[in-house]
Chains A and B, each alone.
Chain A
Amino acid sequence: MKRLCKTVEQYLVSDWESLPESLQAHVQACPRCRAAWQLARAYRKTVQMVRDEPVPVSTTAWAQVRAKLSARATARARPVWWRFAPAFALGLVAFVAFSLTLVGRVPHKPAEVAHAGEPGHLLEYRLEVPPRDSQGSGPRRTAPLTAAEPMPPSPAEGLSTRPAESLEVALRALNHRGSNGNTRRRTKSVPTTVQLAQLPETELVVEVPALSDFEIPHQSEVSYLPIQYGTPSGQPYSEGNGYAIVGSF
């Protein structure tokens, strides 16, 4: 029986339209083969009906295809950047417009910028003193000193005593380091004004590191004074204070 089922299946697979008489009896008897045979027959019928259905005729003319073909060929012939040209042009126009707006709105760079330290900024003072024995002929020795004290407010904030105080701090620090056995220190006590005045101008240098910039909002309120060593300008100078004001503005 199973052998006949297999034979029927082979006939179905092989697309035979009718079965031999020997198999027809089996198909009538075997429900599985009968169902398969009925399905195959219905399938053939359906396929035949669909095959007979008239297929519409294509109406696309060659002229249309040819026009599309040439359009594509033209598009392909253009360089790649051509596709991005409109976007690029738009971007360029936007950039130029933006630049012109900026040029019209922003004033020129402020002509005068003053430097001032911020409060709390640590300054490093470098006091250069020639060795006593070499009388200025030997190499200059440098004693870097750090004044770990906050810097006073900037002159713009109303305090103009910074140079004098700074020097005071520097000298105090110098003395302090001397007491700690610093070999570079040459003065054991605070120098007097006379002593400082005797030193060549180039040998006593107070270096101030680069300070932050700030803009002066009203240019007309700023007055610039020449820096003169030993000439007080920010604070009235008094002879008896024991300190020399090195420079200020």
Chain B
Amino acid sequence: MERALAMDNLHAGAAQRMLTDEQLAAKARAGDADAMEELYLRYRQPVFRVVYRSTRNIDEAEDIVQEVFLKAFERLHTFREQSRFSTWLMRIALNLCTDRARMRHRRQELLEREADHKLAWSHPHPPDPLETTHQNAFREAFYTALNQLPDHHRQLIILRDLEEMEYEQIAEILGATVGAVKLRVMRARRAFKAKLEPLLRAIGELE
């Protein structure tokens, strides 16, 4: 009996896997927990990647991913299917990342004020190349510069340069035209390079 039940579940799972995101979203909207689970399993890791790139903290990223899916399933009725489910989900994730980043920034400001500006949390010194490996130095320099960027620039760098998303997909996520996204990416890179340059110079990559 149990075996039969397990087989049924297996078949149901396989059937779910055949469905498109939008079909699953429609089923999930009707309260189908299996459809929700399938959507969760499909997009847990892509969402986690983007969130992790933004936070660089596993616990916080896990927390945000949970929040993303909770929000998405609670507000499935607002999903109009004018965009893809994946981009809709990614938009929620980016918004939550922005909120968290603002909160973190505020908290850091308070801490800095409390410590009478003795703590330079948001502007750490460039990593010492002698203490870290060359690759680590690059990564540290990269994330240090990335965290100094405004939210809209940081999101574009993550989506385009790190996650290598197509301009069309980014445009769908951000609700903008492809041309506008290209322009924004160019500006974001220019700002990012300006932040990155002294750090790269500090680790000896630039003359």
Contact = CB atoms under 8 A, between A and B. Distances in A.
Interface of A: 13, 38-40, 42-43, 45-47, 49-51, 53, 55-60, 62, 64-66, 68-69, 72
A56 B52 contact: yes
Contact of B196 (A43, A55, A62): A43
Interface string B173-202: 000000000000010010011001100100
A13 to B, nearest CB: 6
Contacts of A40: 193
Contact of A39 (B41, B58, B139, B206): B206
A53 B143 CA distance: 12
Contacts of A46: 138-139, 141-142, 196, 200, 205
Counting chain B CB atoms within 10 Å of each CB, the highest count among A42, A46, A65 belongs to A46
Given A40-B193, A56-B52, A69-B70, 15 more contacts: A42-B196, A42-B200, A42-B206, A43-B193, A46-B139, A46-B141, A46-B142, A47-B162, A50-B142, A51-B164, A58-B44, A65-B40, A66-B37, A68-B66, A68-B70
Contacts of A64: 66
B: interface residue count bin? 35 or more
B85 interface: no
B49 A72 contact: no
Contacts of A49: 135, 138-139, 142
B142 to A, nearest CB: 5
A201 B165 CA distance: 110
B2 interface: no
A58 B206 CA distance: 36
Contact of B193 (A39, A53, A57): A39
10 contacts: A39-B206, A42-B196, A47-B142, A51-B164, A57-B48, A62-B41, A65-B70, A68-B66, A69-B73, A69-B74
Contact of A53 (B41, B45, B139): B139
Contacts of B44: 58, 60
Contacts of A39: 193, 196-197, 200, 206
Given A39-B200, A60-B66, A13 B37 contact: no
Nearest to A57: B45
Counting chain B CB atoms within 10 Å of each CB, the highest count among A51, A56, A58 belongs to A58
Contacts of A50: 138-139, 142-143, 162
A110 B207 CA distance: 98
A193 B70 CA distance: 100
A81 B66 CA distance: 28
Nearest to A60: B62
Given A42-B200, A53-B139, A60-B44, A47 B66 contact: no
Interface in B21-74: 33, 36-37, 40-41, 44-45, 48-49, 52-53, 58, 61-62, 65-66, 69-70, 73-74
A46 B162 CA distance: 10
Contacts of B8: none
Contacts of A53: 139
Contacts of A72: 70, 74
B161 interface: yes
Interface string B123-142: 00000000000010011011
Nearest to B67: A68
Contacts of A58: 44-45, 48, 61-62, 65
Nearest to B63: A60
Contacts of B52: 55-56
A69 B40 CA distance: 13
Nearest to B163: A51
The 10 A-B pairs with the shortest beta carbon distances in the complex, nearest first, are A58-B48, A47-B161, A62-B37, A49-B138, A42-B205, A46-B142, A42-B200, A46-B138, A50-B142, A55-B49
Contacts of B69: 65
Nearest to A44: B161
Contact of B207 (A38, A43, A60, A68): A38
A53 B140 CA distance: 12
